[in-house]
Structure 1
């Protein structure tokens, strides 16, 4: 009977776990749909800003503006922004991204990475914890943006730590490591160059030339305003995509955990019934044997 009691305890424990994972799945699903709605609503705006940026990029031939688009002659100072989450229980969302950074770092940046000379900015606690254990020391860890990505907060972070240092020449290039959202179950770890901004070849070969654009009141002033705004918009879009991936990964993980709990509960109930039947059969045999002994 001790075996039956142990099985009952496990069944009750798994039932409690199933309730928790099911509740977390519903919470993550609600957050996922809200984050997805915010992302796609903002995407329509950011796409238009990107179109404007691509149109005026070739017009930024002034030395002070060309830096945003021109490939650096040498990359001695590099900044890397790692987007992760503050919370766990989202499968390999953070681990896969950290592994991507650790594995690809030496290939992308060589001695700069090996000598720990890459300035790493972590948005999200979990990503920072993982890469810190691998010997990479983050320059800064921001948990507020990962918890709730608001445009003003993201813009302030980007301006202070990325935009102005790049403009002043502190960094030759800026990269972003993030999980590219495919669907709720799939997020692809990606490392992408963010600055200098790369103009797609299809745009440079387009027949529409920036020479036909009319700037009012002044081309230089307009470009100086448009370029930072477009870069802030693009960076904020990455943080929104990171939020979608986190909630999608957690929703999927909790769904799988709930399904596993249901399956395990079925197996334990079957095991419990078999053990109970065996115990009952044993008791009946003992009673019958005792009755036969009294007769004999």
Structure 2
């Protein structure tokens, strides 16, 4: 059985850890509130923009739909893996990385040597760099100053790479925010734009827009904007998911520290009681020995 000094030292250590996890939970909760507000405000805009794009582009010729819809033989692939810059958020980062690896294995094993990784978040950058993947780390620190202007540069890099033929397909891997305790892993094709099949009834009920100056000009402006918004939305989803995952992980760590403290205090009391009993027995034994003399 451990002595009193060792148990007391462990109690002090666990108490300090519990205070840290409580503080980290509170910080994550404050950051989550802001991140959640941003993604909730972004979702209706992104959804409406996607709906307008779908209505405008439905029924147009392939050449009018633009370079972003061109299907090519897949030789070079860019996979954008979005994680966080820090740990202590449960399986948040490892799940996103595993999803990226699974995507390569199941879908692009034949093009494995020509798969490029665009990591966003320090954890993804460190993982894929250490393992010798073709990593483009120019935009790995976007979460340190997350804004549409910064994210737009990364989106334009991917879009320009597709336009120039450097990449034949671009995929996004990220965690979608559902609630504090739940994050949904998403693997989405970013480019080329997947064509949406519409039924005759849907085509008949589609909104008839008046185009000014022309449908071609509208599509040239709308498609790139929609792609950048989609890219930005993925980062906002991941950012909110990260804080939710960290808040949950720190809450669980705080609870576990509380359970450990209960056990340690029980051990401390038992050890102390045993020590007191031993001292009493020694005193009684000594008194009896003196009396027998």
Shorter-chain TM-score category? over 0.9
TM-score scaled by length of structure 2: 0.93
SS of structure 2 residue aligned to 1:201: coil
Cα RMSD for the two superposed structures: 2.1
Contiguous gaps of at least 5 residues in structure 1: none
Q: Secondary structure at the match of 2:111?
A: helix
Q: Give the equivalent residue in structure 2 for 1:74.
A: 73
Per the alignment, residue 131 of structure 1 pairs with 128
Contact (CA 8 Å) 2:122, 2:141: kept in 1 or not?
no
User: Matches of 2:186 and 2:149 in 1, distance apart?
Assistant: 25
Structure 2 distance, partners of 1:232, 1:203, is 28
* TM-score using structure 1 length: 0.92
1:120 aligns with 2:136: no
Aligned partners of 2:76 and 2:169 also within 8 Å: yes
Q: Which residue of 1 aligns with 2:10?
A: 10
Distance in 1 separating the partners of 2:215 and 2:67: 16
Deviation of residue 59 (structure 1)?
4.8
Are 1:180 and 2:176 counterparts? yes
- Aligned 8 A contact 2:79 2:117 in 1: yes
Q: Does 1:189 align with 2:185?
A: yes
Distance (Å, rounded) in 1 between the aligned partners of 2:246 and 2:274: 41
1:252 aligns with 2:251: no
CA distance in 2, matches of 1:91, 1:225: 40
Which residue of structure 2 aligns with residue 286 of structure 1?
A: 282
Partner of 1:20: 20
Match of 2:35 in 1: 35
CA contact (8 A) 2:53 2:223 kept: yes
Q: 1:140 to 1:205 in 2, by over 3 A?
A: farther
1:218 paired with 2:214, answer yes
Deviation, structure 1 residue 211? 9.1
d(CA) in 2 for partners of 1:156, 1:98: 23
**Secondary structure at 2:68's aligned position in 1?**
coil
> Counterpart in 2 of 1:273?
269
| 1:149, distance to aligned residue in structure 2 (A) | 2.0
Cα deviations across residues 44-95 of structure 1 (Å, max 9, x unaligned)? 211111111111122542526343235x141112211111111111111111
Q: For 2:207 and 2:239, how far apart are their aligned partners in 1?
A: 39
Alignment partners' CA distance in 2, 1:267 and 1:33? 35
Cα contact 1:76–1:112 (8 A) shared by 2: yes
Shift of 1:142: 2.4
Deviations 1:160-215 (A, max 9, x none): x1112222333221100111223222223332211122243357861347794321
CA distance in 2 between partners of 1:268 and 1:248 (Å): 30
Instruction: Tell me, yes or no, if the aligned pair for 1:59 and 1:211 is still in contact at 8 Å.
Output: no
Structure 2: unaligned runs, 5 residues or longer: none
Instruction: Say whether the 8 Å CA contact 2:86–2:123 is kept in structure 1.
Output: yes
What is the rounded CA distance, in whole Å, between the counterparts of 2:200 and 2:54 in structure 1?
9
> Are the aligned partners of 1:83 and 1:239 in contact in 2 as well (CA < 8 Å)?
yes
Asked whether 1:142 is paired with 2:129, we answer: no
